[in-house]
Amino acid sequence: HHFFGGKVAFKGVGVPASRATRGFLVVDSQGNRRYLKDTWRILSDTIQKEGDVYALLKEHNVPHVPDVVVSGNAVGDWQRTKTHEYVTPTSQDAVLRNHQHYFIVFAQVGIPLKDFKNSFELVQATSHAIEAHKGAYEQAKILHRDISVGNILITDEGDGLLIDWEFSKPLDSSKARLTERTGTWQFMSGNLLSHEPGEANHVLADDLESFYHVLCWVTLMHGRHGLTVKAVETQIARAYDAWHGLNESDAVGGEKKILDLVQRYMRTQAKLARGPLRSLIYELESVFRVRYLINKPPQDSEDEVSDGEPSEKTLAQLKKLDDTEWICQRFSEALREKDQLIQQERDPERDPKLPNLRGEKSAANARKRKKTTSELQEEALGEEEEKEEEERPLRKPRTPKS
C-alpha cells in the first residue's frame, strides 16, 4: 500500500502522558482519499490492536463504523518505547507503559461532528453513532468507553461514523485494562468523574450519558440558542472542563454536570431554539438526571423521590439506562421532523467568536467538489510545504488525561 501526503487533520495535545496521536488526510495510488491515523498504542495483553477491533465489528455486521484499508505496527526496533526498561516509577509517578508505533488507514474521510451544517445532520450523525454503539454492545459484545465529539464523524453523504475503538472493552472481560479512567474528560459521565480513578465501573449507562453530553456541548457551542458567548464559555469551563485534585492522574470532577442534570439546565437556562432538537435534548435530560436523584433529599427532587425511595416514574427511567433501544427510538422520532431540523442551521455568528474551542475548517469548506486524482495528489503533497496544522480542541492542556 502506498499513500501520498498528507495534511495534518488531527494532532493530539502535546502532554507527556499522551500517545502522540496524529491524523493525516492522504491519497492512495488510485487517487482515493483516505484517513491515516498515526499513534503509539499501549502494548498490553488486555488491549487489542485497533485494527483487530474493527475486524471484529465488521464480522458482526456492526453499522456505521469505518472500513479499514490496512493497519499494523511500524517496522523497526526504534518504533517501540524502552523507557520502562530503565526507569522505576515511584508512587508519585504515572504508570510507565510500553508503547508501539502503529498505523491504521480508513477508507472513509469524514468531518468532525462539530462542523455539522444543520440540526438534521447533527442529529442523524449522532443517531448513527448510537446505532454503531448498540450493534457493538449487543452483537460484538464490546463497550466503546470513549464517546466524544471527536469520535463521531460526518461523511460526505451526511451519515455518521463512530471511530476510535482502541480503548473499547469486551463485556466478558473481568480484568481491568487500565488503572485510570477511560474516555475524554469533557464528555465522560458525571458518575465516572465524581469517583476517583478505578472506583466506578464504566458501564453502558456511562456511554449513553456521554452521547447526551456530546449533543449538549455541540449545541451550546454551535447551535441556535439565546445564551451569550460569555455565558457559553462559562458553562463549557464549569460543566465540561473543570476538575480538581492534587494532580491530573487523581483528578475528580463532574459536580456541575450532575447539578445541571438534576436542575435541568438545558431546559431552564440554555434558551434553546424551538424545534425537534430542543425536544430531544429535553427528553434525554429527563432520563439521565434520574441517575443522580436517588441520593438526593426529598425536597430537592420533588415527586421523583418519596421518603428517600425512588418513585415508580424514576424507576421506569432508570431501567432505560440499561438498554439502548429507547434512545435509538427517540432519535428516530426526532429525525422524522426532517424539514424542521434542516431549516435549523448552525449559528455562524458563534464560530468566529469561539476560536479556541473549534477548528478552523467549516462544514461548508469541507464539502467542495470532488477533485481529480492529480489534483488530490498535488494538494496532499503540497500541504507539507504550507506548515499549517489543524487541531481538534478536544482536550485542553490543563484537562486531565484519561
CATH 3.30.200 in the chain is located at: 1-87+96-108
Residues 6+ apart with CB under 8 A from 314: 290, 293, 294, 304, 305
Query: What homologous superfamily is domain 109-173+180-298+308-355 in, according to CATH?
Result: Transferase(Phosphotransferase) domain 1 (1.10.510.10)
Share of the chain above pLDDT 70, in %: 72
Strands (E), 232-344: 305-306, 309-310
User: Would you state the pLDDT for residue 374?
Assistant: 45
CATH 1.10.510.10 in the chain is located at: 109-173+180-298+308-355
Phi, psi of 66 (to 5 degrees): -70, 160
Please state which of the ranges 63-67, 100-104, 144-148, 391-395 shows the lowest mean pLDDT. 391-395
* Residue carrying the nine cell digits 426532517: 338
State which CATH number among 3.30.200, 1.10.10, 2.60.98, 1.10.1760 fits the domain covering 1-87+96-108: 3.30.200
| Residue 125 CB neighbour total at 10 angstroms | 26
pLDDT tens per residue across span 212-252: 999 999 999 999 999 999 999 999 999 999 888 766 667 88
Contact assessment for residue 276 and residue 337, using Cβ atoms and an 8 Å cutoff: yes
